[in-house]
Amino acid sequence: MLARADAPSLLLIAPTGGGKTLAGFLPTLIELADGTHEGLHTLYVSPLKALANDIKRNLRTPIEEAGFPIRVEDRTGDTPQTQRKRQRADPPHILLTTPESLALMISYPDAGRTFKGLKRIIVDEIHALADSKRGDQLMLCLSRLQTLAPGLRRIGLSATVDDPAVIAHYLARHPDPCPILHADPGPPPDIAILPTTDAPPWAGAGGRYAIPDVLAEVRKHNTTLIFHNTRAQAEIFFHNLWLANDDDLPIGIHHGALSKEARIRVEQAMVEGTLKAIVATGSLDLGIDWGDVDLVIQIGAPKKVKNLVQRIGRANHRYNSPSKARLVPANRFEVVECIAALDAVRDRTLDGDLRLDGPLDVLSQHIACVACAGDFSEDALYTEVRSVGPYSTLTRATFDDCVNFVATGGYALRAYDRYQRLKEREPGVWGLRDPRAARQIRMNLGTIIDTDTLKVRYRGRGGAPLGEIEEGFAATLSKNDTFLMGGQVVRFEGLRELIVEVSPNPNREPRIATFMGYKWSTSVHLADRIQRILHSGDFSAFPDHTREWLDLQIARSQMPQPGRLLVETFPRDGRHHICLYGFCGRNANQTLALLVTKGMEEAGLEPLGFVATDYAVLIWGLKPVPDVAPFLHNDGVHAALESWLKGNAVMKRAFRNAAIIAGLIDRNFPGKRSSGRQATFSSDILYDTLHRYDPDHLMLRITEEEAMRGHIDFGRVELLLETVGDRIDQIALDRVSPLAAPLFLEMGKVPIKGRAESRLIQEEAARLMSDAGLSPD
């Protein structure tokens, strides 16, 4: 580490728990030890606030023990305004922060002074940032810092990744070299599926069946971390865990939708070692070093191998002893997924899906952010942006489009000459037309798009904040409905000024809070492994219940075959269902569903909706589909989808996210919207308008790119259709097949706005009118 300390960029790869964070700080501590450096020396950026906090604790101890004259502070969204202001004027030697906070600091006119003496930047958990827009934003910020502090050296800290060169390219200033250091990967982890008394259910996602077995493990270990993939699942599990917790073991819950106070309480208790177990989501799964965790339990399939590796690493944070982890598949399909993931960890293979090119919505935001700090030269900024790995191939024309978009909106109709956001002060030099716009730009910085949420409080003056729920969920609540929040059952009392007021109500069955949290899709690599296991027909490694289930699938229907597409049809609940086993990931399966439902709509088969998982997609409608093959022809698929996709909900969702990041529409801030008539209108309207009047607009290009590689994943659909050709096995069943059953409980159903919906709307309206005793006039 120290031998390479002068490299302009350095990537350190070590398994979790290898003490790599402290290693990253070593050169800094040595350079600062003599007390001669004035101002900011090292910036540490991590994806999680909690991580910055944790590092502050771990760093201060050795600094104080050694008596170094080094000041360490953190700066996150939780840092008070006065302290932030002081930190800009009088920065500490080491500042610990997040990508969003860094972007904000760069947007101030005094950024040049704040960062002038900066020597080093440490990017922690860079593997977690490298496939996200947060990472792209951070790397753009780094290019800015490099200009402000030309001698800046970069250190990236990463968990084990399959292609370190990709991460190195991401981190380094292009085309600087970036040496890679590998630490000893340590002993193989002790991982297995947790044996349970009851078999996992046919479908479901909560892992409730395993609660007695989980409690038994909690009793046997010092501290157990129980990970869930979503907040809702964590809430439900925690609730049920408490109901079964007869010995009153101290168990806490931690996730991103809880109030800051609630999270800090749990974090504190963990540091003090007073908790036997913590039920958690992704908000805890990056390198935090808390307490004496000796067991990790993962509820639900881990979806990506790297998630599992990360989470396993949370147990036994000592370098030379194996981490211990147990998996609890939430349903029988997940048994297959868990076994595939375990194989992958043992084989040390990883997911292998990384995105490379930098998205233009993030670039547009960065341009606005730079303009907040002061006038900029477009030539210089272009050169700077090209030094960022993911933007190293950006063309000048595309860059100019982004500048034009930020400046004028980028419309074919030049309507905003008077109100441009950026003005060209002299040729090639741009600045904010109205400096007051900086405030609005700063408020919208960041690339994480949350669904709109409302705060939840106990009713009564000064009611304690409990956390947040999705606005869509809040809209479905009526008085006296109950739901789970922070593990407690609360009763909905009413909505006051966009605050959800509740009262405690421990005695009733809760309805479920539907926060989506972040939903992972199974990586390509895991999906391939799953498919291979199913094809093999060898289920000897499986628990009895799952083997029986898979055998049942063979008896009732058949297993999906390589190079073929299995399609099952069956009736259920008065609708006709089609299940296609595409095994091409959630997004591509979704596109497959769009393709099939489009064909169905045109053929008058009245599709109603669909839901996609990583392995299959389930479509339902009002009429049977005797032959799905005509809807799956690869010829002309691209053109048909092109025109049709533009109108659908998936594209509109992609547009909304990109439009918020690019600064076309403001984020909604909970509590800041007008509570009366909404002055705001849906982003769908903007999408439709742009599409109609300005189809070549930059935002639509961004949306399409996003959709094609992310939401739509068109390449995998084409590949699937090409591979399968006419080898489609359609089987008509009289009831739902064992493999299709779990799809009925999936979240994220997509409605089809077609004839069938029209018919249902009319039926429902007629029913309501007659119930209300109103005549149709």
Partner 1 sequence: MQNGHIFTFAGQAMIARPSGALFWPAEELLVVSDLHLGKSERISRRGGALLPPYEVQDTLTRLEADIAATLPRAVICLGDSFDDMVAVTALDPDHANWIANLTAGRDWTWVTGNHDPAPTGLGGHAADVVTCGPVTFRHIAIDGTSPEISGHYHPKARLRVRGHAVSRPCFLRDDMRLILPAYGTYTGGMRTSDRALGQLMAANARAILAGLPMVEIPMPR
Nearest by Cα to 728 from 556, 577, 579: 579
Q: Which stretch binds partner 1 (CB under 8 A): 115-123, 259-267, 500-508, 752-760?
A: 752-760
Residue 677 is a binding residue for partner 1 (CB under 8 A): yes
Closer residue to partner 1 in complex, CB, 525/697: 697
- Contact flags string 685-724 toward partner 1, x per CB under 8 A: xx--xx-xxx--x---------------------------
Computed on alpha carbons and rounded to an integer, the radius of gyration of the chain in Å comes to 27
Residue 400 is a binding residue for partner 1 (CB under 8 A): no
Pairing of strands 617-621, 607-612: antiparallel
Q: How far is CA 117 from the centre of its chain?
A: 35
The least distance separating partner 1 from the CB of residue 763, rounded to whole angstroms, comes to 8
Cis peptide before 175 (omega within 30 of 0): yes
Q: Which two tokens stand for residue 599?
A: 């064909």
Residue 665 is a binding residue for partner 1 (CB under 8 A): yes
The least distance separating partner 1 from the CB of residue 771, rounded to whole angstroms, comes to 8
The helix or strand, by DSSP H or E, that contains position 689, with its residue range, turns out to be helix 683-693
Q: How many residues bind partner 1 (CB under 8 A)?
A: 52
Among residues 666, 672, 723, 732, the one that binds partner 1 under rule CB under 8 A: 666
Between CA 178 and CA 167 the distance in angstroms is: 10
Between CA 360 and CA 362 the distance in angstroms is: 5
Residue 769 is a binding residue for partner 1 (CB under 8 A): yes
Q: Which two tokens stand for residue 552?
A: 């049942």
Q: Which stretch binds partner 1 (CB under 8 A): 64-72, 119-127, 373-381, 677-685?
A: 677-685
Residues 6+ positions from 771 with CB-CB distance below 8 Å: none
The least distance separating partner 1 from the CB of residue 695, rounded to whole angstroms, comes to 11
DSSP tag of 227: E
Residue 728 is a binding residue for partner 1 (CB under 8 A): no
Residue 480 is a binding residue for partner 1 (CB under 8 A): no
The least distance separating partner 1 from the CB of residue 19, rounded to whole angstroms, comes to 47
- Contact flags string 600-619 toward partner 1, x per CB under 8 A: --------xx----------
Find tokens 């969003």 and name the residue.
100
DSSP tag of 181: E
Closer residue to partner 1 in complex, CB, 664/743: 664
Among residues 201, 409, 487, 754, the one that binds partner 1 under rule CB under 8 A: 409
Residue 413 is a binding residue for partner 1 (CB under 8 A): yes
Residue 419 is a binding residue for partner 1 (CB under 8 A): yes
Closer residue to partner 1 in complex, CB, 209/416: 416
Between CA 409 and CA 403 the distance in angstroms is: 9
Closer residue to partner 1 in complex, CB, 204/409: 409
Closer residue to partner 1 in complex, CB, 480/762: 762
- Contact flags string 422-461 toward partner 1, x per CB under 8 A: ------------x-xx--x---------------------
Burial bucket for residue 52 (CB in 10 Å: 0-12, 13-18, 19+):
buried
The strands making up 277-280's β-sheet, listed across from edge to edge, are 190-193, 324-328, 293-299, 223-227, 277-280, 251-254
Q: Give the angle subtended at the CA of 143 by the CAs of 13 and 36, to the nearest 5°.
A: 80
The least distance separating partner 1 from the CB of residue 739, rounded to whole angstroms, comes to 23
Residue 745 is a binding residue for partner 1 (CB under 8 A): no
Between CA 522 and CA 309 the distance in angstroms is: 14
Between CA 140 and CA 363 the distance in angstroms is: 8
Between CA 252 and CA 505 the distance in angstroms is: 19
List contacts with partner 1 (CB under 8 A).
408-409, 411, 413, 415-416, 418-421, 434, 436-437, 440, 608-609, 663-666, 676-682, 685-686, 689-690, 692-694, 697, 749, 751, 757-758, 760-762, 764-766, 768-769, 771-772, 774, 776-777
